[in-house]
Amino acid sequence: PKRIILVRHGESIGNVNSSAYSSTPDSQISLTERGFEQGTACGREIRRLVGNGSVRFYYSPYLRVRQTLLAILQAFEGQPVEIASEPRLREQDFGNFQ
């Protein structure tokens, strides 16, 4: 590849309310409205950087990451992209300590 771009997920419910983790598994924490907006803006910027070049996205299976990817992909509508889930990209998983 010509470049590797690392993107963290957009703002999640867990980022604004840490108590969300007490009732929702980490892997199921979703984005906030702001997080979706951040993902959309990120997609536009990535598209600006890569133009019509080939693109491959690797993403964590966590919900907030998949939602961020969907927001990013809006900027690539009509352009072929490759996507692949990569479980090794997820955050450290220490289990549920409730």
Q: Give the active site residues.
A: 9, 91
Residue 86 annotated as lining a ligand binding site: no
Residue 44 annotated as lining a ligand binding site: no
Residue 56 annotated as lining a ligand binding site: no
Residue 13 annotated as lining a ligand binding site: yes
How would you classify residue 95: left for phi > 0, otherwise alpha for psi between -120 and 50, otherwise beta?
left
Residue 85 annotated as lining a ligand binding site: no
Residues annotated within the binding site for substrate are: 8-15, 64
Residues annotated within the binding site are: 8-15, 64
